[in-house]
Amino acid sequence: MRDQEPQKLLGDAPAFQAVLEHVSSVAPLNKPVLIIGERGTGKELIASRVHYLSQRWEETLLKINCAALPESLLESELFGYEAGSFTGAGKRHQGRFERADGGTLFLDEISSMSMRVQEKLLRVIEYGEFERVGGTETLTVNIRIIGAANADLPEMARNGKFREDLLDRLSFDVITLPPLRARIEDIELLATHFATGMVKELKRELFQGFSQAAMKKLEDYAWPGNIRELKNVVERAVYRNDGKKLISEIEFDPFNSPYRPGKNTASSNQTESKEILTVVPTNEISDFRQHIRDYEISCLQNALETNRHHQQNTAKALGLTYNQLRSYLRKYNDELVDDEAQATK
């Protein structure tokens, strides 16, 4: 599978322009690169750009999502297998390393790679050598690795969840993508780009533009899903609009409905906040400190959800300063469920 021409990367914000410069300077080097960023920040697009700006641009660029496959399947997809090496292995299978020889292999969500696969990867990076699953012949390849992750890899390495020696080799240079909320200047440009694309898709003649209030809403939102989320929100707003007037309605959450099970009804909100404030009988608290932690976490989670992860508004709702909120979010980074954790990074 050969990748198509790279998609255009839009953005004038200094934080994004600095990334593009970083990419241009590291791309020609024949070294591994790591791309770190929250979901939807453009890691895959940046990986393509690294490849197309490298000397390997005419060679193959292959991608594999390490989180999408269980360990043994990932191993055989990466390194291939010999006929008969496991049930169902009818013919010899070439892995991505063989197929991308001479080119670039993009390992997406590298943080979910198991220790066994990490060990094999380490050897390919170090010596360019590996064996197919169930094979004894040592194959040699010339591959440039680009890894992507939405995780704190050094922290994972400290906790024994990622090999330090592999991280050392992969992180010759690390490109960290700014979340959309750190490049608010680009929201109008990106939103207009996605809206125009949707107008074309709907075969409408003209994009009428956003109302000022709608644009302010877009710029004030914290975008935990980043550019992908912006694209969805804008495309939804365009198609829900009749195409004859400015876009004024922005719906961030397509699940939003007064009838949403268990959520968003006035009575259930009241119940939720009551639940939080209930004083638990002392004999039910076996660990006071843990109880207080749980209490703080549930308050934070509630406030983040109510305020759509907008940190300034969440801080205000809790009567905290922005910095006080940030320090709570750091403290409970691991406990706050997915979306909240994303929004704190």
User: Under the rule (CB under 6 A), what is the footprint of ligand ATP?
Assistant: 7, 9-11, 37, 39-45, 150, 227-228, 231
- Stretch of 39-47, 126-134, 213-221, 295-303 lying at the interface with Mg ion (CB under 5 A): 39-47
CB of 23 to ligand ATP, least distance (A): 11
CA distance 105 to 124: 12
Helices 212-220 & 226-240, crossing angle to 10 degrees?
Answer: 160
Structure tokens at 53: 């700006």
Q: Helices in the chain by DSSP H: which ranges?
A: 14-26, 43-52, 71-79, 96-99, 115-127, 153-158, 164-170, 187-201, 212-220, 226-240, 266-277, 288-306, 311-318, 322-331, 338-344
CA distance 62 to 1: 7
- 40 versus 103: smaller Cβ distance to ligand ATP: 40
Find the distance separating the first CA and the last CA of the chain, reported in whole Å.
34
- Stretch of 44-52, 78-86, 313-321, 322-330 lying at the interface with Mg ion (CB under 5 A): 44-52
- 37 versus 80: smaller Cβ distance to Mg ion: 37
CB of 41 to Mg ion, least distance (A): 9
Asked if 3 is part of the footprint of Mg ion (rule: CB under 5 A), the reply reads no
Of 305, 6, 11, 290, the residue nearest 177 (C-alpha): 11
Q: How many residues line the site for Mg ion (CB under 5 A)? A: 2
Helix or strand holding residue 61 (H, E) = strand 61-65
CB of 9 to ligand ATP, least distance (A): 4
CB of 37 to ligand ATP, least distance (A): 5
- 150 versus 241: smaller Cβ distance to ligand ATP: 150
CB of 46 to ligand ATP, least distance (A): 7
- 229 versus 335: smaller Cβ distance to ligand ATP: 229
200 residue type, one letter:
K
Asked if 44 is part of the footprint of Mg ion (rule: CB under 5 A), the reply reads yes
Asked if 229 is part of the footprint of Mg ion (rule: CB under 5 A), the reply reads no
> Which residues are near Mg ion by CB under 5 A?
43-44
